[in-house]
Amino acid sequence: MKISRYFTPGQLIGLKKTGDVILPGTDRSPSFSETGSIDVVDRMAAHLTPADLGGLRTVLGAFRWSPRWLIRGVLSLCAHSEKFPDIIGAGLRTLEIGINGAVMSLYYSNLHSPEYTGKAVFDVIGWDARIVTRDSPDVAAETPVDIRYESPSDSDIEAIFHRAREAQHNLQGWPVRKRLEFIDRLRQAILDRQEEILDRVQKDTGKSRTDALTAEIFGTLDHLDYLKKTAVKELADRRVPTPLALMGKKSRIYIEPMGVSLIISPWNYPFYQAIVPITTAFVVGNAVVFKPSGATPLKGLVESLLDDADFRDGWVQVVYGEGGRIGDALIDQRPDKIFFIGSQRVGRHIMKRAAAQLIPVELEMGGKDPMIVFEDADLHRAAAGAVWGAFTNTGQSCTSVEKLYVQESIAKDLTKHIVKATQRLNLGCDPDGSADIGPMTTRAQVAVVAEQIADAEENGAKILTGGHWDRRSADIPPMVITGVTPGMRLETEETFGPVLPIITFRDEDEAVSMANDTDFGLSASVWTNDLVRADRVTRGIVTGNVSINNVMLTEGNHHLPFGGAKQSGIGRYKGAFGYTCFANVKSVLIDKNSSKMEANWFPYTPTKYRLLSDLTRQLYSPGPMSLLRGMITGLKLEHYVKKLGKHGK
């Protein structure tokens, strides 16, 4: 049963039950529910008056919980309405007309659900409902435009955006609560198809199954749960205070969709980084054009899940192909917002192209994330956190630990714990959760890791684990490295692989200075038993996200915003900021429709200037007497303005 814009799921159940009471079907004809004609109920409801629609909703809501014998009884009373007093009889006749009208209109529309395979109702009753005139030849129904979504041409992309803009007008008319019904369906579809999704993610990325489960499935479902719990409140109109100087007026904030959002996602978390921004933009009311990475496109999976969730045509469209040409063509269609997660190189290009057309952008472009461990931290926990933070998803995360800063006094012991934990890790793309990390996803990133390791070795770094790697295989063993010094590529560039450089520091000031000595500022973690120091260091690091005594955890809380500082990106998404990321935040000030003139409007006179000057000083000077004087001056000013208006000035 499709999601309705006008009826709740319970009301649709009531309609389905009532329809089967009125039209139970015969050996030749289908029942009301068999045809699935209830799926087109919105086409009928759109033409009802608000009062009629409200009445129908109420009745169907009551029938939702009524047994079929009771519904038959009510309809029987309606059929004998003439036996009742006028006012009761009139009510019963109205009820009969409304219920029968709804059921019959749907059943005899000759429309049915895709799942229905029986004869159409018109074929059963032998009725041809077409209207043909001698002057007008038969005209075939308009054929939908055939759009190619894989390696689309420029004309295909133009058609995709045209379709998105039309679909967005439809979507914007659905209330937020209704959009959340689609989110509920999507959540259930993901749960029902969890193993299939994991298979597809592993096939495209090579990551371990547990990594795929925790990051791609669990994280996505947690996000959908966040939307369900917060969207109605966060997207509701907001009342804000109005200052005394604007007394009598009201101030509001409206959170409205921007229009069509272009979302470009990375290859490292192809499912999570598809569903999270798509559904956020959708709940706000935007249509989405989605471009996945060519390396891990999960071809057809997102569309299939959205179809299971009953998303309407055009609300979300997925475009596949080579990033450069297609990406430029998508931007040139002037989407209302561009949301991008990926490399700095591509992010800069997108920003430059978008700037030429003043398209707002949201960019998350990676990091070189530090983990700072002080001497009072629990070494076993810190070692376990460092190993997971550096090697989860084979280090292919924008918030992976890429530099471990350890206080000198504990460096030797902590390194020993880390090496031991690293050597226990299992490598492989497993079907059953037995592997810890999988192979690298792209050949290009394998080459980046190899180049950085070679540069580090040439400049004196020491490889403690994984030194047997052949520098070519995608099965890179997790590597722990010491002797990393400033200027090495491993110290300055994003690695995006299973490599953990360990660097020592003397004191707090040096640790903060070293952590900030980078162009990146996406994430960090601070480990210490002294929470006052932890807070001080957290405030000192220039970054978008910090986990204290944990690692990569801020992104695990969907109430927190996510984004970077410096060259790690622009903007924030997730949490309440995730909604405004895809929204036009509209300020509204409401005044009465009256003949009253404003004091700051023309004409200006010396008297008005003196009164305004007095009012300014009195309103913003301290003390209750100043405020009282300001109120008196305000009354004088209002009287003076009214006097000017009477004289036509």
Residues tagged active-site: 364, 398
When computed from its CA atoms, the radius of gyration of the chain, rounded to whole angstroms, is 32
Structure tokens at 571: 């903007």
- Strands of 220-376 (E only): list them: 238-240, 250-257, 260-264, 287-291, 316-318, 337-341, 361-364, 369-373
Decide: residue 502, CB within 10 A, 0-12 exposed, 13-18 middle, 19+ buried. buried
The CA-CA-CA angle for residues 73, 79, 83, to 5°, reads 100
Q: Are strands 287-291 and 260-264 parallel, antiparallel or unpaired?
A: parallel
DSSP string, 254-291: EEEE-SEEEEE--SSSTTHHHHHHHHHHHHHT-EEEEE
The backbone torsions φ and ψ at residue 145, rounded to the nearest 5 degrees and listed phi first, read -65, 130
CB atoms within 10 A of CB 103: 21
Cβ-Cβ contacts under 8 Å for 528 (sequence gap 6 or more): 373, 374, 376, 377, 534, 537, 549
Residue linked to tokens 């714990």: 417
Distance separating alpha carbons of residues 102 and 52, to the nearest angstrom: 11
- Do the Cβ atoms of 277 and 339 come closer than 8 Å? yes
587 membership: H or E segment, kind and range: strand 583-590
CB atoms within 10 A of CB 143: 6
DSSP string, 9-46: HHHHHHHHHHHHHH----SSS--HHHHTGGGGHHHHHT
DSSP string, 524-546: EEEE-S-HHHHHHHHHHS-SSEE
Of 366, 343, 338, 261, give the one whose Cα is nearest residue 295. Answer: 343
Structure tokens at 379: 């070494």
Cβ-Cβ contacts under 8 Å for 298 (sequence gap 6 or more): 200, 201, 204, 270, 271, 274, 292
Counting every residue written for the chain, the total comes to 649
DSSP-derived 3-state class of residue 410:
helix
Distance separating alpha carbons of residues 244 and 572, to the nearest angstrom: 33
Bridge partner residues of 255 (DSSP): 585
